[in-house]
Amino acid sequence: MAPLGEDTPLIGGRSCSLSSGESGTLQVLLYHRAPGTAPGTAPGSAAGALTFTCGEFTAEELCVRAAKACGVLPVCHPLFALATEDLSCWFPPNHTFRVEECRSQVVVYRIRFFFPNWCGLGQCHRLQLLNGPASPVLDYPAIDYLFAQSRSDFIGGRVALGLSLPTQEQCLSLAVLDMLRIAKEERQSPGQLCSHVSYKSCLPAPLRAQIQQHNFVTRKRLRRRFGKSLRRLGGCCHADGPHLKLKYLLDLERLQRRGCEEIFRVRSPGSAAPIAIHVSGDGGVAWSCGGSESRQHFCDFPDIADISIKQAASAAENRLVTLTKADGRALEVEFPTLREARSFVALLDGYYRLTADAQHYFCREVAPPRLLEDLENQCHGPISAEFAVNKLEAAGGAPGLFLLRRSPQDFDSYLLTVCVQTRSGRDYRRCRIRQDEDGRVRLSGVARRFCSLRELLDTYGHRGLQAEGAPMRLEVACPPRAKEKSNLLIVRSGVPRPPGSPPAARRRSLQQMMFHKIDPQSLTRGESLAQGSFTHIYKGIKQEQDEEDGPRQTPVVLKVMDSSHRNCLESFLEAASTMSQLSHKHLVLLHGVSLSKDSVMVQEHVRGGPLDLYLRKQRGAVTTGWKLTVAKQLGYALNYLEDKKIPHGNVSAKKVLLAREGDTAGGSPPFIKLNDPGVSVTVLARDMLLERIPWVAPECVSDPGSLALPADKWGFGATLWEIFSGGNMPLSLQEPQRKLEFYQSRQQLPAPKWPELAALVAQCMEYEPQRRPCFRALIRDLNSLITSDYELLSELSPTDATLRDGFWGHDSLAMSQDPEHFQERHLKYISLLGKGNFGSVELCRYDPLGDSTGELVAVKKLQQDSAKEIRDFEREIQILHSLQHDFIVQYRGVCYSRGMRGLRLVMEFLPNGCLRDFLQKNQPRLEHRTLLLYAWQICKGMEYLGARRCVHRDLASRNILVESDSHVKIGDFGLAKLLPQDKDYYVVREPGQSPVFWYAPESLADNIFSCASDTWSFGVLLYELFTYSSKSKSPSEVYSLMMSCWAFTPGSRPAFGDLSPKIEALRDGRSKTRG
């Protein structure tokens, strides 16, 4: 970059043009250009602009042109976007710019997507294969651009900084680095540079203004001291320009507190109160009210299931954006304009592709055109050759299998990787496909051109081709799959890595199954409701005795296993075990299992009954909007199971129960719950399997043991057809042999009259399992069915407009997001989760509508209500409310009854219970790598607590809650204390009943607690995790970690910030050993 004076513009001159002329132009401003890409540019100039005088361009197309000019490679291209000149708004990739004669447009090419610590390999990095080296997020051209952009923001005053003395010193240190870099790039000595470049040109504008206000003597002294520091550093520093840029970026990142965060000013629908939405690469999505500093975390990017944009009112420009999590909770906010709404959605969309699934988009309003083109052509993004070969090997590696991907080095090329059989064995060959400026494609070195990739592949698929001297056949494509691993995904520091492929299903013994056992004496059987293939279904009552409130009665459904099917009992209990570990508002809640003379599954009572019966009774009275709402809710439930990597295996309308019918006139949407799958298709007799056609997937008919996630997409497609056919499925009435022939001849159900719906059903009922879309894509496509033609395609009545307004079934932000106060009358008791010396925790449903559609929550209340215990409980609530972390149990709110004496703490419900019980149940199947993951997550949570000056004091496996097989959270803050500002320890005056076996020596002797005493407890927790109380089972590396935690002197124990990288390194080491 050229030397800068105080008046040098921060973004270079706009003379570097693709075309000449200024009136009626579109200019893309650049912070940095690759050397040699701008003919006629003055030597040393790095910034510039691209100028366009005619035509139409998408934002993505302009970004590609800019990337070529700046040397940015396709792998880093998704990090960039276009912003307005004042940086107030961003354009989605599919935004169209039209160059008009009457006006000029100016946009800025910038890195929009930021990740913390992304310049260091040990922190944020790109996903790699098990034995591969970690790749940095940015390559050198992207680092050059990030440096130029960050420097421009810093000097231009766009980085929010205070002007305290420590901050001023840090700014001066950055200026020293900057001047030293300029000197090295210009091959000048520091003294020579200072003679014609002012150090103030490297300082932020507010600091420059402040220095300018000083008198001449002070300014001269500052200049002399700066020059002396620069010369001293220049004499001993041998780093080159790129390393100085890296140092500058790292120091600037430490200086910026929240500099990589975007904030959107919105409001909750129906409210004038302002709300701020905060989005950052490491923090995900959070929100705050007004100007409050207190934030409520909503979700991380991989947790997002669905995003939709709709018009707030018929004549208004305002847009409602609804963001739905995988667990069904929603955030709905109102943006003043469509442009701001699209800017927000494009940000979330981009972060999701970078952290969870590089091939997914949430809505067409912001979909990147190149991604749509890739999906149509079954083309992967610019993945590395190693990942391409890895995917082909995972797909079987048969000769003729091929993979199409974009080139990682060139925006205008594709690469074809093909599996071939050679004399020396199986090998992989590659050939390049070039795309010309007119869009036509051709093989590199071949003159013949084709109109599309599909035409090229079809032609050479029939004729074959030669590459590197070997004949190649293009027989079977290896298409992109949802959430597949590649170097396009970024692994963030402190965030779990993207999950791998689903593990092979393993049958568990009865001792390994997890469900709550219910005393048969507490169950009363009522009238018969139905009879299934393997069960008799009854209404029932579950009775429970409460010490305070007396007997409690809960209406339930009893599914009694038929004694003639005892051979299927294990599968029946396996389904109960699976359902007991899941919690979603669109899944039926399992209370537990009663095992005595009869095996009984005890479920919540869903009063509307099966969906297929309801549809048949209603016949033509059910509207299209109602059906779409039900389909989308079923999609949410199945998406949740897909994220958990749990196939349901029995999706049909009779397995969908109607909890709420909905009210067309009142705008209340219907509400459904998916029931348990029952006995698995893997153990069904052949005749029963054929009875389930067309809901059961064809691959499961051929091989019942092949049940996997794609089978649920087939079942969803058949159920979607069934819903829109009024609950009728003519094929189900056919003879078994006719049904089998239907599958063998690869027939399809009759296409619905609605073309978009027919296409959606066809995607789901694709005979090749791997071609079926993921449920996030299906939910997105269901959203797109609400088109301008919606009224023509549906049988809407005049009163149905109200239902359409409530179509999505989401509440406003205030209702759906962590209400501060829960009303006691809406907390419906379900069961007791746990009981201790001081309090008890109950499973409740917060159900304001009284129809069992509310959220499941865990509610903690005191056993006794003395003044001291209430004070301690209030402190616990205050501490938990202030904590927001992925590995700490989430606060939901509080509930008051009888004044403060009836105070209750409402938290998220985690169905797998505590880690101690989880370990006992799952000990044989838990690998050391999984246990190390738990240890690392607990360690990161404790590191966060230490940063908040919070000492837990009760860290043990019984107080760690299990969300899933790969996610644990720290809970129970009943003994937690906040450290005083002037001390690093806390002395407890009244220790009371304490968990002495987990206490450090100083805590036992002198009641002294600190982060170091929590480290001691963490060592005991490691012992619980890895030894199961048997020292011989502990790996030596983990044992040495335990011993370091048990150092007698508190100061000798490692901090959690030091432990977490050691545990992660152990986990990576074991992963590589296994790989």
Q: Are 698 and 681 in contact (CB under 8 A)?
A: no
Separation CA 285–CA 295 (nearest Å): 10
Which single residue is written with the structure tokens 């599954």?
Answer: 601
Distances (CA, A) of 525 to 133, 533, 593: 61, 20, 14
- Residue type present at position 937: Q
Of 886, 954, 972, 1014, catalytic: 954
861 in a known ligand binding site: yes
Distances (CA, A) of 383 to 422, 441, 904: 25, 20, 51
Quickly count: other Cβ atoms within 10 Å of residue 1043's Cβ: 10
The tokens for 764 are 């789901």
Which single residue is written with the structure tokens 């206490």?
Answer: 999
220 in a known ligand binding site: no
Separation CA 481–CA 484 (nearest Å): 6
The tokens for 956 are 């043990």
Closest CA to 190 of 206, 204, 179: 179
Across the strands, what pairs with 845? 828, 856
Separation CA 608–CA 602 (nearest Å): 17
The tokens for 612 are 């297929």
838 in a known ligand binding site: yes
Q: Are strands 960-964 and 986-987 parallel, antiparallel or unpaired?
A: unpaired
User: Is the dihedral angle over the CA atoms 356, 358, 362, 368 positive or is it negative?
Assistant: positive
Q: Are 126 and 490 in contact (CB under 8 A)?
A: yes
User: Is the dihedral angle over the CA atoms 470, 476, 482, 483 positive or is it negative?
Assistant: negative
164 in a known ligand binding site: no
833 in a known ligand binding site: yes
Across the strands, what pairs with 467? 470
Q: Are strands 891-895 and 821-822 parallel, antiparallel or unpaired?
A: parallel
Residue 696: CA atoms inside 13 Å, Cβ hemisphere, count?
Answer: 28
679 in a known ligand binding site: no
Separation CA 772–CA 421 (nearest Å): 29
Q: What is the DSSP letter of 450?
A: B
Quickly count: other Cβ atoms within 10 Å of residue 162's Cβ: 10
Distances (CA, A) of 695 to 351, 673, 689, 751, 762: 35, 18, 10, 16, 14
Which residues contact residue 867 at a Cβ distance below 8 angstroms, ignoring those fewer than 6 apart? none
Separation CA 196–CA 192 (nearest Å): 7
Q: Is 954 labeled as catalytic in the residue annotation? A: yes
Distances (CA, A) of 1020 to 315, 348, 712, 969: 63, 40, 43, 17
Which single residue is written with the structure tokens 């700490």?
Answer: 888
Separation CA 217–CA 220 (nearest Å): 5
The annotation places the binding site for ATP at 833-841, 860-861
The annotation places the binding site at 833-841, 860-861
Catalytic residues: 954
